[in-house]
Amino acid sequence: MAEDVVRLMDHLGVARAHVVGYSLGGMIAMRVLTDHPDRVLSGTLAGMGLFREGSPLQEFWGRIPARPGGRTAAACMRAVGALAVTEDAVRAIRAPVEVIVGDRDPVRRLYVTPLAVVRPDWRIVELEDAGHLNAIMKPAFRSEIRGWLDRQAGDRPRSP
């Protein structure tokens, strides 16, 4: 899926971008950061953190009922499993990264806390009174991303 992002950037003629992803999109953004560092100006991972092989999320996908033939769960597992990263790959990321998570989101404990150990230099923002499904709806979520992108852009003019 990260390769799809890079192919879209190529198609649009975008050499480098600020990559933002939420939940599964955050996992994809992390893979763009690790696999294509030359294409990234900065990253925002929201509702996701350090997703490693054998994580609770993979176990969750394994419990999804399969359609006849059992292909659905297996296909989901392969797609999600392909997004797992190593701690070494995360340590090698040079782009500035911000992580946004709700204070009531189980992702915080499962994925963001371990990520903060691996990358204590990354900015971690906890949104008050926010879970996994509603954090993206909070005004603070939007203002945090806008502020982060403005700080990353510095003096460069911003498109409308």
**Residue the block writes with tokens 């297996």:** 74
E strands, the chain, are 17-22, 40-46, 97-102, 123-127
Q: For 77-125, how does the pLDDT look when each residue is reduced to its tens digit (9 = 90+)?
A: 667 777 778 888 899 999 999 999 999 988 888 778 888 889 999 999 9
Task: Give the separation between CA 57 and CA 51, rounded to whole angstroms.
Answer: 8
- In the predicted model, is pLDDT for residue 59 greater than 70? no
- Into which CATH architecture does domain 2-50+85-153 fall? 3-Layer(aba) Sandwich (3.40)
* pLDDT score, position 91: 93
Q: For 2-12, how does the pLDDT look when each residue is reduced to its tens digit (9 = 90+)?
A: 999 999 999 99
Query: Is-contact 107 101, C-beta < 8 A?
Result: yes
| Domain segments of the chain as ranges | 2-50+85-153, 52-84
